[in-house]
Amino acid sequence: MHRMAVSIGYRKRGQRSGALWLACAIAMALLVLLPITALFVQAMQGSAGLWLHLLENVLPIALRDTVILLIGVGILAAVLGTSLAWLVTAYDFPGRGMLEWALLLPLAVPTYIIAYAYLDILHPIGSVQGAIRWILGYTSPREFRLPDIRSMAGCIILLGFVLYPYVYIPTRAMFLTQSGNLLDAARTLGISRRGLFWHLALPLARPAVAVGVSLALMETLNDVGAAEFLGVRTLTVSIYTTWITRNDLPGAAQIALALLLVVVTLVALERWARRRQRYSTGAQRHQRFEPHRPSPIKGWLLFAAGALPILIGFIAPALYLSSEAWKRVQFAGLSERFFAEAFNTIVLALLATICTLAAGLAVAYANRLRPGPISTWSYRVSTLGYAAPGSVVALGVLIALATFDQAIDRAATTWLGFATGLLFMGSGLALVYAYIVRFLAISAGGIDSGLARIPASLDQASRLLGQTATGTFVRVHLSLSRAALTAAGLLVFVDCVKELPATLLLRPLNLETFATHLYGEAARGTYEEASIAALAIVAIGILPVIFLSRVGRTG
């Protein structure tokens, strides 16, 4: 009798706390849905007059170019990411340990910065072509120059070289957890090293490659800056331009929703394509695959091959930015603006990261405590914002919050006799909200996978040992998923620092960040202090790389 009472009490309390988490998760999903609903309401108020022209003149070519770009970047990122992951897993050569983490460095360079850097590096009057002319004995770029980087091919190559880490990370993790026994068995059966890759390792790693490629493609679709600098008219760019040049808000909302639909469809397709694939990594340690040690010369060649993508995707642009920043500091010193911007950038990103982590925790934890359709859908909906291009989220948040702000202001003026002004838009809160909507997927996803590694038996053990639901949450779940929380937090933080379209549209008066400064200068074609801001963004972007590499080595 006594035991039964205890067990009932236990379940009730557990369910109650589960219900609270579930309510939080639903609230988060609604928070993400709000700007999308606002867009929808706005879109309904316009006519569909825009679409005939778009369908006739803009969409066919934009669609073609987008598909070419996606295929190009997808292939390049897949080939680079997979072969590099295999290189550092299957071969033991000098410098391998360094490559393992250094290969992540291009992640720190946002797409708009890589485009901006290479436009200058590879320009006919830039250092690379200057050196080539010097070697070949030409004096003027009119006599000899390389093809222009402002092209589809240029865009594919540049994006591929900064986005391949998205494939490299999961694929390498997959290679590492693949059963060494299996690979060794295959070796004893006489399969060559190359055959091993093609017939065993690669097919087994396919889901990881698919996840990585789909992330890289999502980044490609969301990019506006690089495509704009390089003259590539993707769907995102064309549609964005149409909004700007046509100047009607309902039309813009319609376009934004259409764009969202395209991205959501892509995500759904990707999920559908992987519906039968299941990871079966398990918690048990496999015997590690013993890497092959090639001859010293071959070893150095392998090192060179592995170092090349880092050179292109990180070292060259970082060196370029450093030298430009140095020149600028010598020319004009470091203005006070720089420190104010650093402060704004970091405080905003920090605030957004904390909120996003809390929101992500609610969504992921509800999914664990109360699995079912409601928590699953809350999870899915709240990750929608990541699929949406930043400008779409920005527009939705603007409509939703400005309307809300006005309502509060009017109510306060009528009932309380004083004006509140714009509560959200006038402070940085609208921006923080947009960041949460945009990056909730990263924190929810990261925390969810961290929680998934904690077996349910630990929950039961903790409760049996007298911990309350809250105690279990804090002492077991939180402390065991600390690494996942940190990783997610770092990624969100860096993404907030890099974020451009929402920051540009939603920030309050007198508030400038690194990204908006960089854009402001790039927009008028002066790069002056922008190189310092760009360098700062890249430097901040290195933080999660360092963390990820440490986790990679210990785990």
Q: Residue 535 is inside which H or E element, if any?
A: helix 530-554
Distance CA 276, CA 361 (A): 28
Site for other proteins in 137-156 (CB under 8 A): 140-143, 145, 148, 150-151
Question: 89 with 291: CB under 8 angstroms?
Answer: yes
Which of the residues 334 through 393 are near other proteins (CB under 8 A)?
340, 343-344, 347, 351, 391
Of 49, 94, 372, 421, the one binding other proteins (CB under 8 A) is 421
CB of 229 to other proteins, least distance (A): 6
* Burial class (CB within 10 angstroms; exposed 0-12, middle 13-18, buried 19+) of 477: buried
Tokens of 239: 């549609």
Beta bridge partners of 91: 292
Of the ranges 205-213, 406-414, 465-473, 546-554, which one interacts with other proteins (CB under 8 A)? 406-414
Closer Cβ to other proteins, 448 or 499, answer by number: 499
227 vs 369 by CB, closer to other proteins: 227
- Please give the Cα distance from 158 to 218 (Å, whole number): 16
DSSP structure string for 34-81: HHHHHHHHHHHTS-STHHHHIIIIIHHHHHHHHHHHHHHHHHHHHHHH
CB of 505 to other proteins, least distance (A): 5
Interaction residues for other proteins, span 300-329 (CB under 8 A): 327-328
Nearer to other proteins among residue 150 and residue 286 (C-beta)? 150
CB 166 within 8 A of CB 81: yes
3-state SS of 267-288?
Answer: HHHHHHHCCCCCCCCCCCCCCC
Which of 86, 438, 521, 536 forms a contact with other proteins (CB under 8 A)?
521
33, 394 in Cβ contact below 8 A? no
Residue nearer to other proteins on the CB measure, 272 or 418: 418
Structure tokens, 179: 């059963």
CB of 444 to other proteins, least distance (A): 25
Residue 542 binds other proteins, judged by CB under 8 A: no
Q: How far apart are the first and last CA of the chain?
A: 47
Residue type at position 437? V
- In terms of CB distance, is 287 or 406 closer to other proteins? 406
Based on CB atoms, which residue is closest to other proteins, 2 or 142? Answer: 142
Say how far apart CA 426 and CA 148 lie, in whole Å: 44
Given the rule CB under 8 A, which of 84-92, 296-304, 426-434, 435-443 is the region that contacts other proteins? 426-434
Contacts of other proteins in 116-135 (CB under 8 A): 119, 123-125
Q: Which is nearer to other proteins, 249 or 258 (CB)?
A: 249
Residues 53, 405: contact at Cβ < 8 Å?
no
Stretch that binds other proteins, among 312-320, 405-413, 474-482, 546-554 (CB under 8 A): 405-413
* Given 37, 322, 427, 468, the residue binding other proteins (CB under 8 A): 427
If we measure between CA atoms, which residue out of 253, 264, 226, 219 comes closest to residue 114?
A: 226
Q: Which of 24, 28, 34, 58 binds other proteins (CB under 8 A)?
A: 58
**At its nearest, how many Å lie between other proteins and the CB of residue 26?**
27
Choice from 394, 444, 497, 533 touching other proteins (CB under 8 A): 394
CA 486-489-492 angle, 5° bins: 150
Residue 34 interacting with other proteins (CB under 8 A): no
Exposed (0-12), middle (13-18) or buried (19+): which is 510, by Cβ within 10 Å? exposed
- For every residue of 84-126, DSSP letters joined together read HHHHHHHB--TTHHHHHHHTTGGGGS-HHHHHHHHHHHTSTTS
Least spacing, CB of residue 348 vs other proteins, in Å: 8
Question: Which residue lies nearer to other proteins by CB, 383 or 531?
Answer: 531
Our finding on whether 61 is near other proteins (CB under 8 A) is: yes
Q: Which stretch binds other proteins (CB under 8 A): 74-82, 84-92, 105-113, 395-403?
A: 395-403
Which of 181, 406, 470, 479 touches other proteins by CB under 8 A? 406
Give the nearest distance from C-beta 69 to other proteins in angstroms. Answer: 13
Residues 219-278 binding other proteins (CB under 8 A) are 228-233, 240-241, 243-247, 249, 252
3: CB partners within 8 A, 6+ apart: none
Please work out the total of residues on this chain that contact other proteins, with binding judged by CB under 8 A: 78
Phi, psi (degrees; rounded to nearest 5) at 124: -50, -30
Query: According to the binding rule CB under 8 A, does residue 504 interact with other proteins?
Result: yes
Stretch that binds other proteins, among 200-208, 474-482, 525-533, 542-550 (CB under 8 A): 525-533
73, burial (CB in 10 Å: exposed 0-12, middle 13-18, buried 19+): buried
CB of residue 405 vs other proteins: minimum separation in angstroms?
Answer: 6
Q: What's the min distance (Å) between Cβ of 170 and other proteins?
A: 34
**Considering the complex, what minimum distance in angstroms separates the CB of residue 507 from other proteins?**
6
CB 88, min distance to other proteins, A: 37
User: 292 φ, ψ to 5°?
Assistant: -85, 140
Contact 306/99 with Cβ under 8 angstroms? Answer: yes
Measure the CA angle with vertex 26, ends 21 and 30; round to 5°: 145
Q: Which is nearer to other proteins, 154 or 212 (CB)?
A: 154
Residue 28: CB minimum distance to other proteins, A: 21
d(CA 377, CA 38): 20
Q: Does 46 help bind other proteins (rule: CB under 8 A)? A: no
Could you say whether residue 419 binds other proteins (CB under 8 A)? yes
